[in-house]
């Protein structure tokens, strides 16, 4: 099968990315250079040694390495460089809007002030908007392996940034930390007028997707691929137009699927679900957004129409204002293909 037409479309069509952890865009080369300037010794001797460690049997094995990598980020400039490197990729790949996750507790728990983290990320976003016209949203995530009290403390600290954050999310180890554990803090988040999102149905069961919708009242489900196990849930996701931010290369690398041909993305689309494609932690999973599109296109035999649907879904599911969404949908509908 020849996919050159699809690949050209993937490269040229405007896209939004709705599920990317900025700490997961930390490329080994940048990690080594920041470690050196911060006089921190990494556990690995070289970029190659570090990359060779990127073999994961499950989410937890990945998270252990991912949190260790974030340890070298100390100064505002570090967060700026990290974010700018990712935004440059966005520019190269025609990602025109990105909603960036970050994990405040990964940094504040080691004594790095939240202001410094946010200022570094934000300044890179402002510069990328000015240079390349990329729009952005920032979404702090609570670490679900920590307590709800700690999440509440983080939320109260985040309140001083006013409306800078659009939504709050929930990430880290899903198994053993179901949505109900964070019901109170999510009530607080919504009471202050923020939207909510949550990782659910990645490694955990379809029930976590129900609970994220019903208990946490999320506007989007991050991953949600295990929904495929529950036909009633698929109906409900379609009926509510509840978007799923699907991350194909992540699912392959973390063994959520054995091979990409088993990935449920096409079935989700066939069930009228607002599925989107995203990179999650591209430095660890072997590719940025377009590589994710390419991987599902070849494995699932996606058509140009499927790719157009996925790109359109990325804007429909975004937190952009209605007029901006319409603008991008219009652009997509006028593409000659």
Shortest distance in whole angstroms from residue 158 CB to ligand ADE: 18
Crossing angle of the two packed helices 4-12 and 304-316, in degrees rounded to 10? 20
- Residue 202 makes contact with ligand ADE by CB under 6 A: yes
What phi and psi values does residue 15 have, to the nearest 5 degrees? -140, 155
Contact 16, 314 (CB under 8 A): yes
CB nearer to ligand ADE: pick between 6 and 141:
141
Site string for Zn ion, 261-280 (x = CB under 5 A): -------------------x
Is 189 or 200 the residue whose CB approaches Zn ion more closely? Answer: 200
Residues near ligand ADE (CB under 6 A), total = 11
**Residue 280 in contact with ligand ADE, rule: CB under 6 A:** yes
105 contributes a contact to ligand ADE by CB under 6 A: no
* DSSP state, residue 151: H
Q: Which of 138, 174, 167 lies closest to 62, judged by CA?
A: 174
Nearer to ligand ADE by Cβ, of 13 and 199: the residue is 199
Residues 32-91 that bind ligand ADE (CB under 6 A): 59, 66
CB-CB contact of 244 with 224 (8 Å): yes
Q: How many angstroms separate the Cα of 233 from the Cα of each of 2, 179, 205, 241?
A: 35, 16, 11, 12
The entry of ligand ADE, Zn ion, none that residue 202 binds, CB within 5 to 8 Å by partner kind:
ligand ADE
Is residue 23 involved in binding Zn ion (CB under 5 A)? no
Instruction: Identify the residue whose tokens are 């937890």.
Output: 60
27 binds, among Zn ion, ligand ADE, none (CB under 5 to 8 A by kind): none
Question: Closest separation between CB of residue 280 and ligand ADE, Å?
Answer: 5
- DSSP code per residue over 20-53: EEGGGG--HHHHHHHHHHTT---SSSSHHHHHHT
Asked if residue 99 binds Zn ion (CB under 5 A), the reply is no
Whether the Cβ atoms of residue 275 and residue 222 lie closer than 8 Å to each other: no
Among positions 27, 78, 81, 171, the unique one binding ligand ADE when judged by CB under 6 A:
171
The least CB distance from residue 255 to ligand ADE, in Å, is 12
Whether the CB-CB separation of 251 and 287 falls below 8 Å is answered with no
Q: Quote the CA–CA distance of 114 and 308 in Å, as a whole number.
A: 38
- Per the annotation, the verdict on 93 as an active-site residue is no
24 binds ligand ADE (CB under 6 A): yes
Asked whether the CA dihedral 110, 19, 319, 201 is positive or negative, the reply is: negative
Q: How far is the CB of 164 from Zn ion (least distance, A)?
A: 21
Q: Between residue 208 and residue 267, which ones bind ligand ADE under the rule CB under 6 A?
A: 250
Rg (Cα) of the chain, in Å, rounded? 19
As beta bridge partners, residue 201 has: none
If one asks whether residue 9 binds ligand ADE (CB under 6 A), the answer comes out as no
**Choosing from 23, 27, 99, 202, which is the catalytic residue?**
202
- CB closer to ligand ADE out of 6 and 279: 279
Q: What is the spatial distance between Cα 183 and Cα 175, in angstroms, rounded to a whole number?
A: 17
Minimum CB separation from Zn ion for residue 75, in Å? 25
CB of 226 to ligand ADE, least distance (A): 13
Binding site for ligand ADE (CB under 6 A): 21, 24, 59, 66, 171-172, 199, 202, 250, 280-281
Enzyme catalytic residues: 202
- Residues near Zn ion (CB under 5 A) are 280
């Amino acid at each position: 099968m020849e996919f050159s037409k699809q690949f050209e479309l993937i490269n040229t069509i405007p896209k939004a990315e709705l599920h990317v952890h900025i700490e997961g865009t930390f490329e080994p080369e940048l990690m080594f250079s920041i470690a050196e300037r911060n006089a921190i010794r990494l556990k690995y001797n070289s970029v190659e040694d570090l990359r060779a460690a990127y073999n994961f049997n499950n989410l937890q094995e990945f998270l252990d390495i991912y949190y260790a990598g974030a340890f070298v980020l100390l100064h505002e400039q570090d967060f700026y460089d990290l974010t700018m490197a990712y935004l440059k990729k966005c520019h190269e790949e025609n990602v025109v809007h990105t909603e960036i996750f970050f994990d405040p507790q990964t940094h504040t728990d080691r004594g790095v002030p939240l202001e410094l983290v946010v200022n570094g990320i934000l300044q890179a976003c402002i510069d990328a908007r000015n240079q390349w016209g990329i729009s952005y949203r920032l979404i702090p995530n609570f670490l679900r392996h920590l307590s709800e009290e700690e999440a509440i403390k983080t939320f109260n600290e985040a309140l001083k940034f006013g409306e800078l954050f659009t939504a709050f999310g929930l990430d880290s180890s899903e198994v053993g930390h179901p949505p109900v554990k964070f019901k109170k803090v999510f009530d607080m988040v919504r009471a202050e007028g923020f939207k909510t999102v949550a990782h659910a149905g990645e490694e955990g069961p379809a029930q976590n997707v129900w609970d994220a919708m019903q208990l946490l009242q999320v506007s989007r489900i991050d991953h949600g691929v295990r929904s495929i196990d529950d036909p009633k849930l698929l109906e409900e996701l379609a009926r509510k137009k509840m978007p799923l931010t699907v991350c194909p290369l992540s699912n392959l690398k973390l063994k959520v699927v054995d091979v990409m041909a088993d990935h449920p993305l096409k079935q989700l689309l066939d069930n009228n679900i607002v599925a989107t494609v995203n990179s999650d932690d591209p430095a660890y999973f072997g590719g940025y957004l377009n590589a994710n599109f390419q991987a599902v296109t070849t494995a699932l035999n996606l058509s140009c129409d499927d790719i157009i649907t996925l790109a359109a879904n990325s804007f429909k599911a975004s937190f952009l204002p209605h007029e901006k969404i319409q603008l991008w949908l219009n652009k997509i509908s006028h593409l000659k293909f």
